[in-house]
Structure 1
Amino acid sequence: MDNFTFNFRLSLEPFYIPSGARYPIFFIGLLIYLFCISCNMTLIGLIITRRNLHKPMYFILFSLPLNDLIGITAMLPKVLSDILMDTSEVYYPLCVLQGFLLHMYGGGVLFILAAMAFDRYVAICFPLRYNSIMTPHAVVAIIAVVWGLDFVLNVALFSLQARLPWCRSTVLNVFCDNPSLLKLTCGNTTINNIIGLFNTAVMQIISVSIQAFSYVKILITCLGSRQNEARSKAINTCVAQLVIFFIFEIVGTFTILSHRFQNISPDLQKIMGMLIFLVSPILNPIVYGLNTNEIRTYILKSYQMNLATPAS
């Protein structure tokens, strides 16, 4: 088969949906998607338009809703379309593009949360030097490393698939990802598996190391602080970021381990796999919209102004 022909179709393996539940599941999924899009776009819009939010913390935070939009848009519309149209076909190039974007999203979550943890470490442990350390050039460099490293790792991962011959056309998942695409090949995938494990190790080691270092230092600083209000605010900010990280890791770990056990339902594996791309886009706008005082203030003011505006 020609790996790059746009006429090469793959069949996705759908999960079982009772006939009477097809439309309710579609509308629930559509509401989730619209909620995520509107909330994450609101965060992006506020950070762009509000000058008071033009700070290092919010420039780094800007990457998080942007990454969430990439992840949920790459996955959910296709799944909802398959549910509604009762079809499960996808062209090969679109399948590869979906897999690449989903892997970019996964690595992006880890790297962005690490960058945000480092920013909080500098702000809390070195408050007087924060502006001299987190300069505009430093912030741009951090954001460039986050997206650049994620992009390079995933380009290396997916470019290796071009050398392999294809002998199957059924993707054993409801969306395309690197492991599912590798199962379609009949060549030697040893190098692919090694690079995949290497990428996972690099992403996890960098993210976990930076976050562990940052939050341990923050905890030590907060415990030694005599300012109860500042200590409480710092701890609340860090706890919110840690909750997002741990939920993402727990869902991801369960999904990976579930493929190692034969007694776990394939439908449950697919649903848990989808949750990886739903947890962050759903929780992040809530956590950072409600837990960040400046963003919460702008949202409440906008809501009050809309209520006060008389209908024409």
Structure 2
Amino acid sequence: MFPAPLSLLSQMENFTYNSLTLQLEGLSVTKTNKYTVFLFLLLAYTFILVANVGIVILIWTDRNLHQPMYLLFCNLSLNDVMGNSLLVPRVIADILVPPSERLIHYYECLMQAFTTHMFGTNAHTVLMIMALDRYVAICDPLRYTTVMNRRMVVTLTLSAWGSAFVLVAVLLGLTIRLNRCRTLIMNPYCDNPSLFKLSCENSFISNIYGLTFTVVLLSSSIGVIILTYSKITAACVINKNKSLNSKALKTCSTHLILYLIMLVSGFILIILHRFPQYAEYRKISAILFNVVPGSLNPLIYGLQSQEIHRSLSHMFHMKKAAPTL
């Protein structure tokens, strides 16, 4: 037997070293509770789709809701649908599959990682531009229609999605360059920390950028929220207008609740990533980070908005009256 050419050996080594087939650890469920978990996630995902898509359709079809506040909220609903649709169905399917058969292609894994980080980053950027909208509406109401015109809404929307895209693309770009020597993703789905943990190379740069990325994003969003709400509080105290204060309380409390839900669920996930001994809790929180905000956002916003209530009641009254015509 002649020895294989060096180039062939190199190709074989690269193929086994950077395997394109990865294994997802998934959720640790027993035979007795896997159907309960499956049903819970299926119902949650169905509700997320119906509620968020329904909100978007309602806002776009009702001209009375073509206001900056609701148009910007559509970004949050679209983000929830996108983030959950590319992650939750795969997690649901893996629950019914033995751990050894939870295989995923590397490129699909990259798409999942990109989606989950876009979901988290975009939630921050969208909630920041929604905070700016509330600031202008309450602190400078006479110029609100001039400042928050259609062009400004489009600009803010593109800046929110564009900045999130660039930040996440760089984050994953630094991870993709690393060679992989492991194949087990220790998570229910792929994300950047799980991907660079597959590498045996020095991931110092990826870690530093990931840490900087997180600090800058959280500092920016928390800073914008504190600044805008401080201005709004000052405006309410100075004006002493009951009508203005009531409007500010309703719209801002809704926005603040959405932000706090997203922030707390994100902080729990980030903290648990630093403690390997709580791996199961981290995996559960990773799922809830997508499911909880996506489920509560349309519910909280819909319950607090009188305009959405009015539009829904008008739509249902028309449906009831239609058979009698």
Same fold (TM over 0.5): yes
Counterpart-to-counterpart distance in 2, 1:38 and 1:142: 26
Counterpart-to-counterpart distance in 1, 2:190 and 2:258: 24
**Can you list the C-alpha shifts for 1:99-149, whole angstroms capped at 9, x where unaligned?**
101100000111111110100000000000111111222221111110000
The letter for the 2-side match of 1:282 is S
The letter for the 1-side match of 2:294 is P
Is the CA contact 1:11–1:90 (under 8 Å) kept in the aligned structure 2? yes
Q: Does 1:202 align with 2:227?
A: no
The residue aligned with 2:80 is: 68
Alignment of 1:100-115 (within 5 A): 100-115=114-129
Is the CA contact 1:222–1:235 (under 8 Å) kept in the aligned structure 2? no
Give how far 1:235 is off. 1.1
Who wins on radius of gyration, i.e. which is larger? 2
Give how far 1:307 is off. 4.3
Counterpart-to-counterpart distance in 1, 2:315 and 2:46: 20
Q: Does 1:297 align with 2:299?
A: no
Give how far 1:309 is off. 4.8
The letter for the 2-side match of 1:280 is P
SS at match of 2:23: strand
Q: TM-score, normalised by structure 1?
A: 0.93
The residue aligned with 1:255 is: 269
The residue aligned with 1:285 is: 298
The residue aligned with 2:30 is: 18
The residue aligned with 1:186 is: 200
5+ long unaligned stretches in structure 2: 1-13
Give how far 1:304 is off. 3.5
SS at match of 1:10: strand
The residue aligned with 1:116 is: 130
**Can you list the C-alpha shifts for 1:264-284, whole angstroms capped at 9, x where unaligned?**
3x2111101111111211111
Is the CA contact 1:33–1:76 (under 8 Å) kept in the aligned structure 2? yes
Give how far 1:310 is off. 4.5
Counterpart-to-counterpart distance in 1, 2:137 and 2:221: 19
The letter for the 2-side match of 1:93 is Y
Counterpart-to-counterpart distance in 1, 2:62 and 2:172: 38
The letter for the 2-side match of 1:301 is H
Q: TM-score, normalised by structure 2?
A: 0.90
Q: 2:71 aligns with which of 54, 59, 72?
A: 59
Counterpart-to-counterpart distance in 2, 1:202 and 1:135: 29
Counterpart-to-counterpart distance in 1, 2:112 and 2:276: 27
Counterpart-to-counterpart distance in 2, 1:102 and 1:194: 19
Instruction: Detail structure 1 runs of 4+ shifted over 6 Å in the superposition.
Output: none
The letter for the 2-side match of 1:36 is I
Alignment of 1:1-312 (within 5 A): 1=14, 8-86=20-98, 87-264=101-278, 266-310=279-323
**How big is the alpha-carbon RMSD for the aligned residues of Structure 1 and Structure 2?**
1.9
Counterpart-to-counterpart distance in 2, 1:262 and 1:157: 22
Is the CA contact 2:113–2:191 (under 8 Å) kept in the aligned structure 1? yes
Is the CA contact 2:26–2:188 (under 8 Å) kept in the aligned structure 1? yes
Q: From the superposition, tell whether residues 38 and 249 of structure 1 become closer, same or farther in structure 2 (CA, over 3 Å).
A: same
Count the aligned residue pairs. Answer: 308
Q: From the superposition, tell whether residues 2 and 141 of structure 1 become closer, same or farther in structure 2 (CA, over 3 Å).
A: farther
